Amino acid sequence: MKHFVVTLEFTGTSMDQEVSAAQAAFAHRLYNKGALVLAGPFGDGEGGMAVLRCDSLEQAEKLYRDSPVIRSGHATFKVREWKVLLGEI
């Protein structure tokens, strides 16, 4: 399996509680399936990041395209393969 970093940038539209709760549930599902390794918002509140474990870039992009925060238009995302050289996750 490869690792991928997903960066989210919020669009500036206020996210309601329903989208926020759906996003949390989405992240928990990915984590429980073993696809999500780490996730969380940036300290400045302008976006967030996730580390995924997938077979391909296309698979990682497809996973996050279904994210409630992306589907609702509250954020945009970018996925990049990350080649871990040191450390364990």
The domain segmentation of the chain, as residue ranges, is: 2-82
Whole-number pLDDT of residue 80 = 98
Average pLDDT over residues 48-63: 96
Record the pTM: 0.90
Locus of tokens 């391909």: 56
Whole-number pLDDT of residue 74 = 94
CATH topology classification for 2-82: Alpha-Beta Plaits (3.30.70)
Q: Are 56 and 2 in contact (CB under 8 A)?
A: yes
pLDDT by residue (tens digit) across 66-76? 999 999 999 99
pLDDT by residue (tens digit) across 9-42? 999 888 889 999 999 999 999 999 999 999 999 9
Closest CA to 50 of 65, 32, 64, 62: 64
pLDDT > 90? residue 82: yes
